[in-house]
Amino acid sequence: MLFRVVLAVAVLAIFVYGLVDVIRTDGRLTRGISKPAWIIVMIVLPVLGAILWLLIGRPRGNPPVRQNYSHPTAPDDDPDFLRNLELRRRNQAEASRLKKLKDELEAKADGGSSGAGPDAGGRGSGGSGSADGGAAGDASSGDADTHDTDERK
Q: Write down the pLDDT at residue 78.
A: 74
Query: How many other β-carbons are positioned within 10 Å of the β-carbon of residue 38?
Result: 26
Q: Are 38 and 30 in contact (CB under 8 A)?
A: yes
pTM (predicted TM-score): 0.39
Tell me the average pLDDT across 134-141.
Answer: 46
Q: Does position 15 have pLDDT exceeding 70, yes or no?
A: yes
Q: How far apart are CA 38 and CA 18, in angstroms?
A: 10
Q: How far apart are CA 19 and CA 23, in angstroms?
A: 6
Domains of the chain: which residue ranges? 2-57, 73-113
Tell me the average pLDDT across 85-112.
Answer: 90
pLDDT range class, residue 99, cuts 50, 70, 90: very high
Q: In whole angstroms, what separates CA 4 from the centre of its chain?
A: 54
Query: How many other β-carbons are positioned within 10 Å of the β-carbon of residue 30?
Result: 19
